[in-house]
């Protein structure tokens, strides 16, 4: 074997192995499959229909989380608003999110005082760009996006009681 061929193999082998591992890992963790609406249990369909208010689902996926079947649904309401839902096999709503748009953002004045306090404490002097309100497992969750003075992004999620659920920053702030 030529020396150049041998060197090419030494370089190519780790690259191929890395891509193979990444592909296999992704397939292992993502167990969702697209299904027909007719395959969704009646209890889950009832919950979904109640939340899309006369609209129609256009994409349904089924996945298994901790031994339970979960149905992830993308739909449009009768007023043509996009909505995403997660419902378990018993019909329990575990996630609800309306597609974001400027018209659907929440004004600061509509954010509960406990949530405002947590947001302010974690802004580090930044200005809030956007606040969205979503429902997860029957509770409100506020998603906040802000920019620092040096153009880094802060993203946080705060529950309706003011408890910080997630904080991501574009730089090390602490």
Q: Residue 99 — very low, low, confident or very high, per pLDDT cuts 50/70/90?
A: low
pTM (predicted TM-score): 0.47
Q: Which of 3-12, 58-67, 89-98 has the highest mean pLDDT?
A: 58-67
Q: In the numeric block, which tokens belong to residue 116?
A: 């405002």
Domains, the chain? 33-98 (3.10.450.360), 104-169 (3.10.450.360)
| Closest of 113, 115, 120 to residue 134, by C-alpha | 115
pLDDT tens, 21-30?
Answer: 544 444 445 6
Q: Residue 152 — very low, low, confident or very high, per pLDDT cuts 50/70/90?
A: confident
| Closest of 138, 137, 142, 144 to residue 160, by C-alpha | 142
pLDDT score for 103: 38
| Closest of 61, 62, 109, 101 to residue 79, by C-alpha | 101
d(CA 82, CA 100) in angstroms, rounded, equals 9
- Do residues 35 and 62 touch, judged by C-beta distance below 8 A? yes
d(CA 138, CA 135) in angstroms, rounded, equals 6
Rounded to 5 degrees, what angle do the CA atoms 89, 90, 96 make? 75
pLDDT tens, 126-148?
Answer: 888 889 888 765 678 899 999 88
Task: Please compute the mean of the pLDDT values over residues 73-96 and round it to a whole number.
Answer: 85
pLDDT score for 18: 59
Neighbouring residues of 47: CB distance < 8 A, sequence distance ≥ 6: 85, 87, 91, 92, 93
d(CA 126, CA 121) in angstroms, rounded, equals 10
pLDDT tens, 28-57?
Answer: 456 789 999 999 999 999 999 988 888 899
Question: 129 forms bridges with which residues in the sheet?
Answer: none
pLDDT score for 48: 93
d(CA 91, CA 89) in angstroms, rounded, equals 5
Q: Residue 122 — very low, low, confident or very high, per pLDDT cuts 50/70/90?
A: confident
The DSSP result for 28-82, as a single string, is HH---EE--GGGS-HHHHHHHHHHHTT-EEEEEEEEEETTEEEEEEEEE-TT--E
């Amino acid at each position: 074997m030529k020396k150049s061929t041998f060197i090419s193999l030494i370089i190519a082998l780790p690259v191929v192995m890395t891509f193979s591992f990444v592909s296999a890992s992704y397939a292992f963790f993502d167990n969702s499959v697209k299904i027909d609406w007719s395959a969704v249990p009646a209890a889950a369909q009832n919950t979904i229909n109640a939340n899309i208010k006369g609209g129609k689902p256009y994409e349904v996926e089924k996945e298994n989380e901790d031994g339970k079947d979960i149905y992830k649904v993308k739909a449009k309401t009768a007023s043509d608003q996009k909505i995403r839902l997660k419902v378990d096999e018993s019909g329990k709503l575990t996630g609800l999110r309306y597609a974001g748009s400027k018209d659907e953002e929440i004004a600061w004045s509509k954010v509960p005082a406990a949530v405002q306090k947590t947001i302010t404490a974690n802004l580090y002097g930044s200005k809030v760009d956007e606040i969205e309100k979503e429902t997860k497992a029957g509770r409100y969750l506020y998603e906040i996006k802000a920019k620092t003075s040096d153009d880094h992004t802060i993203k946080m999620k705060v529950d309706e009681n003011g408890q910080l659920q997630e904080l991501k920053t574009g730089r090390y702030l602490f």
